[in-house]
Amino acid sequence: MLKEIALHRSVRHFLSREIAPEVLTDILQAATHASTVGNMQLYSIIVTIDSRVRAELSVGSLDESAAMEAPVLLIFCADVHRFSKWCRQRDTKPEYENLMWYAHATADALRAAENAALQAESYGLGICFIDTVLRSADRLVELLDLPQGVLPTAVLALGHPAEEPPLSDRLPMEAIVHYDRYNRITSAEIDELWAERETSTQTMELLNRYGVENLARIFTEYRYPAAENLNSSKRYLATLREQGFLDDKE
């Protein structure tokens, strides 16, 4: 499995070829067998090809072509609505529509999404997680008719790949893994850990494309600029509140 995981590519261009129903069913089965908090399965999956959803997810996205071309989008939602309704029908009073349980439900949804991605890639399908899902959460709530207690968390584009993009460069494992406690890295260690990535072929192509001298500027000034981050954060906070996940009534 490690070999297959290491060969992961984010595919953004797909053939106009449908996914076999039995393959899609297997992918969804894999998703629904993910580990969850307390075996509560606090997530839902919406399978869609809705053009309105595609258009919303493609605006300003690095993954615009994936959102528009993939034959199937899987939208993974944090969902405490279903479990809460079951509790009420069993004469008990649930208190899951709050920030703590939003975090639990989000973790459930993301584990299910990763299971789906791994199963899809095992069939030779291409996958891409669409990066605009949180920024578009308010519009997706409307388009998908989501009740309170449900919020989109991840979107996975699936399809037969029309490309074989290069493997994404990654930081070395020692940049990510800590033992027993968090190791605060020094400036010199930052330079060392990013050295290979900052000089990779992919990075050189990006620097030429954007006309800047380092990779950090691409992220902070072009891909995820501060004004956009702050605006998206305010919108997302408002959506959290509207969907009942901020318990600030007290």
- Quick: pLDDT tens for 123-140: 999 999 998 999 999 999
Structural tokens at position 110: 């993301």
The beta-strand segments (E) located in the chain are 43-48, 72-79, 126-129, 150-159
Full-model pTM = 0.93
Q: What is the pLDDT of residue 142?
A: 96
Q: What is the pLDDT of residue 7?
A: 84
Query: Domain 2-166 adopts which CATH fold?
Result: NADH Oxidase (3.40.109)
Q: What is the largest CA-CA distance in the chain?
A: 63
Q: What is the pLDDT of residue 168?
A: 84
- 26: burial class by Cβ within 10 Å (0-12, 13-18, 19+)? middle
Strands 126-129 and 43-48, how do they pair? Answer: unpaired
CA gap 34, 93 in Å, rounded: 27
Handedness of CA 176, 178, 184, 186 (dihedral sign): negative
Residues in the chain, pLDDT under 70: 248-250
Q: What is the pLDDT of residue 42?
A: 98
Q: Could you count the other beta carbons within 10 Å of the beta carbon of residue 30?
A: 18
